[in-house]
Every structure is written in C-alpha cells, then in structure tokens.
Structure 1
Amino acid sequence: MPAEDKKQVAHRALVDRVLTGQGAASPEDRARAFGNADGPAPLQALIGKVAMTPSQVTDADFAAAKAAGFSEDQLFELVVCAAVGQSTRQYEAGLAALAEGEAG
C-alpha cells in the first residue's frame, strides 16, 4: 500500500472515531462541530473560533458554552471535532490541488 493510501486510511479512521465513537457529546453535536455548522449560539461562537481563528479562543468562550449546559467532556470532544473538521477540509483541498497538478 503506497504511503499516501496509508495516510488517507489513517485519516478516515480518525474522522470516523471522532464522529461516531463513544463520547459525552451527541453524534449530531459532533457532526455540527466537525462541519462548523450552526449550533447553539454560545457553542457556535467557540466552535467557529476553533475552526477559523483558534488563537482568539478565550476562557470566556468556554465559560459561555459551559453556562449553556455543555459539560467539560462535551466541550473537549466538540473542540476536537471542530479542529479535525477544519484540518480535514484543508487536507482534502491539498489532495485535490495535488491531483489537479498531476492531471494538468
């Protein structure tokens, strides 16, 4: 198996685990975080920052999401989903650019 294939298999396994593995956060919340899709306002503020501007995440973002009823375990899982989702989009864009370069 070529190295790229092993990397893609490992990546798919990671994505599958964060989206469908056991956890404190619901699979629906994990999928929304992974896709940086709309969710409850305090949570979406945190997830959006994790995905797009992680250096701007503050303790206040976590406090607001926690005050909205999310546990620390749920927030940890959702932050991981958001980060993996954003990195997946970047990874897939990179693979597409490489494929386009090889075809052209």
Structure 2
Amino acid sequence: MPDDAKRAAQRALVDRILTGPGCTAVDLRSRAFAGAGLQPSVKPLLDKVVTDPTQITDDDFAATGLADDQLFELVVCAAVGRSTRMYESALAALDEADT
C-alpha cells in the first residue's frame, strides 16, 4: 500500500471514530482521543489504556459508571489517539531524516 493510501486510511479511521455515529458524545470521544480534559471517573482507565494496558482491571471499568458500549468507544478512541500521535511522530522523524 503506498504511503498516501496508508495516511488516507489512518485519517479515515480517526474521522470515523471521532465523528461517526456512536453511543458516546463526540466531545467525550475527542477528549479520549487527545488524552486531555477527561472526566475524573474515566481518566484512570484511559490513562492505563495508553500507558500500561496490562494493568487494566474490571474495577477500572466499573469505576467509570458508563455503559459497555460507551466504554468500548472511549477505549478505542484513547488507543487510536495514542497510536496516531506515535504514527505522526514517526512520520515527522522520517521526514526530518530525509532532509
């Protein structure tokens, strides 16, 4: 797959999870994606998603008070947000190395 197609696919994924239909408000999905401005009830869970996912427990999910569908969407947004930041950093490093 050419680089432009990969970047387009990644942008389409981000657009879909942030603005597509879902059970969770777009604003909350965007905050989960950015890892900023999170409600205290979901912050510990989403922090673990991006820093140490093997440490997530059932209690982390229960502490949020959210429905399973909402939790799924927020976890996906947090994970894709983190991977997007890493992807963009890697592309920037490659671009810098080429100059």
TM bin (shorter chain): over 0.9
Kindly indicate whether the alpha-carbon contact (under 8 Å) linking 1:32 and 1:39 is maintained by their aligned counterparts in 2: yes
After the TM superposition, which parts of structure 1 deviate over 4 Å for at least 4 consecutive aligned residues? none
Kindly indicate whether the alpha-carbon contact (under 8 Å) linking 1:47 and 1:82 is maintained by their aligned counterparts in 2: yes
User: Whose helix proportion is higher, 1 or 2?
Assistant: 1
| TM-score normalized by the length of structure 2 | 0.96
Superposed, which structure 2 residues align to 1:29-44 within 5 Å? 29-44=28-43
Query: Is the partner of 1:78 in helix, strand or coil?
Result: helix
Return the offset for 1:51: 1.3
Output the aligned Cα RMSD: 1.0
Return the offset for 1:57: 1.1
- Which residue of structure 2 lines up, in the alignment, with residue 78 of structure 1? 74
The answer on 1:54 being equivalent to 2:53 is yes
Kindly indicate whether the alpha-carbon contact (under 8 Å) linking 1:42 and 1:61 is maintained by their aligned counterparts in 2: no
Out of 83, 89, 93, the position equivalent to 1:93 is: 89
- What is the aligned-residue identity percentage? 53
- Deviations along 1:68-93, one digit per CA (max 9) or x if unpaired, are xx111000000000000000000000
- Deviations along 1:22-67, one digit per CA (max 9) or x if unpaired, are 000000000000001122112011111101211111111001012x
Kindly indicate whether the alpha-carbon contact (under 8 Å) linking 1:35 and 1:82 is maintained by their aligned counterparts in 2: yes
- Show structure 1 runs of 5+ residues with no match: none
Query: Is the partner of 1:39 in helix, strand or coil?
Result: coil
- Which residue of structure 2 lines up, in the alignment, with residue 12 of structure 1? 11
